[in-house]
Amino acid sequence: MAYTTIDKPSDYFNTVLYTGNGSNGHAITGVGFSPNWVWIKERNSTSSHSVSDTVRGTTKRLNTDLNAAEETLSGVMQSFDSDGFTNGADNGVNENAKTYASWNWKAGGSASSNSNGSITSSVSANTTAGFSIVSYTGSSSNVTVGHGLGVTPKMIIFKNRNSATSWTVYHEILGNAKRLVLNNTGAEESTNQFSFGTSPTSSVFALGGGYGDVNTNGATFIAYCFAEKKGYSKFGSYTGNGNADGTFVYTGMKPSFVMVKTTTDAGYNWVIYDNKRVGFNPDNDTLTANENRAEQTSGFGHIDMVSNGFKIRASTNDTNRNANVFIYMAFAENPFVTSTGIPTTAR
């Protein structure tokens, strides 16, 4: 059996950097595919993160650093294109002369109805890459929701579109009775949101009734679901050692994107690295999913992205607090070994 089924990860995930021009109809190209989920952050100023997807449609924005309800804005995402996307003039995505990072994922194109769960969902699923976007309407009772992946997701990010409620994160490492919140610095917390301790399956995830963050009657929700694909994506954990010679995390691929968060202690950020900012070891600059702050070149600690994983290169608490458990999500630049047996190399 081949090591990986994905020899070119950039067909499914890619980071693209660009500079805003302040005008409507600003086309961003170079993604390499038509993206279904686009996450944008201004690098040199303090605009909020901007999240758009093809299931909710153009003009719809959510912000990972806020608990705000979905906004409808003509100046944000205007279209999803064959090689990228087109922005309007909103400062969060296209302020003149400001620099931006866009993280782009490919799901399954247009959404289709999914009746695997006890309620019907609308799903755009890419089973090859293990990523789906799920829209559903909440209930006052326990429910199951079809996710379309065909395998069990390792991580799911939920947001209530209608109300000012937190972003809930399910991660396999936390288990089905705990969660993290994407828009704050809190530690893991106990929850009955995942239907009183019911883990996701290969067809559905389960939700407790009446929880405003994931399942309340009549509200609409979006869920971003991730399954692990060898050589392309990895969702795991590591333990910090508080030392500049930090932990090495084996992922089985050379990462292009890594997001980490401690589960143990409160007060520390969701830190994002990618292979484009600055793009060489050990100078991988950081953005934080829970804050609107500009890109940081120091303070959170750098990592090395190598051929088969990443290594922590700082003693800072956000990424390497001693004895803390950190969860991570990572996507590949290259698999460690291609389907034809060719190994990759470090940067």
DSSP string of 41-63, one letter each residue: EESSS-PPPEEEETTT-TTEEB-
Residue 1 has pLDDT above 60, yes or no: no
* Per-residue pLDDT tens digits for 315-329: 999 999 999 999 999
pLDDT of residue 123: 98
Nearest to 22 by CA among 45, 2, 4, 1: 45
pLDDT tens for each residue of 108-152 = 999 999 999 999 999 999 999 999 999 999 999 999 999 999 999
DSSP label of 9: G
User: What's the sign of the alpha-carbon dihedral 248, 249, 253, 259?
Assistant: negative
Kindly indicate the confidence band of residue 346, based on its pLDDT and cuts at 50, 70 and 90.
Answer: low
Sign of the CA dihedral with 55 first, then 58, 63, and 67 last:
negative
Dump pLDDT digits (tens) for 148-199.
Answer: 999 999 999 999 999 999 999 999 999 999 999 999 999 999 999 998 789 9
- The arithmetic mean of pLDDT across residues 221-242, rounded, is 98
pLDDT of 40 reads 98
Q: Say which amino acid occupies 202.
A: S
The pLDDT value recorded for residue 347 is: 55
19-28, 78-87, 192-201, 223-232: which has the minimum mean pLDDT?
A: 192-201
Cα(54)–Cα(199) distance, integer angstroms: 27
What are the tokens at 330?
Answer: 């990572």
CA–CA separation, 282 and 270 (whole Å): 19
Q: What's residue 302's pLDDT?
A: 84
Instruction: List % helix, strand, coil for the chain (3-state, nearest 5).
Output: 5, 40, 55
Round the average pLDDT of the chain to a whole number and report it.
95
Proportion of the chain above pLDDT 90, given as a percent: 90
pLDDT, average across residues 41-68: 97
Q: How confident is the model at residue 278 (pLDDT cuts 50, 70, 90)?
A: confident
129 φ/ψ sector (left φ>0, alpha ψ -120 to 50, else beta): alpha
E runs forming strands in 62-120:
71-72, 77-81, 84-87, 99-105, 112-114
Residue 11, pLDDT > 70, answer yes
Q: Which helix (H) or strand (E) holds 319?
A: helix 317-320
Which SS3 state, helix, strand or coil, does residue 321 take?
coil
Q: Could you read off the pLDDT of 296-307 as tens digits, one per residue? A: 987 777 899 999
Among 111, 136, 112, 129, which residue's Cα sits nearest to residue 54? 111
The span from the CA of 9 to the CA of 96, in Å, is 31
Whether this model's pTM surpasses 0.75: yes
* 3 state SS of 320: helix
pLDDT tens digits along 236-250: 999 999 999 999 999
Phi, psi angles (nearest 5°) of residue 289: -65, -25
Q: What SS3 state is found at 187?
A: coil
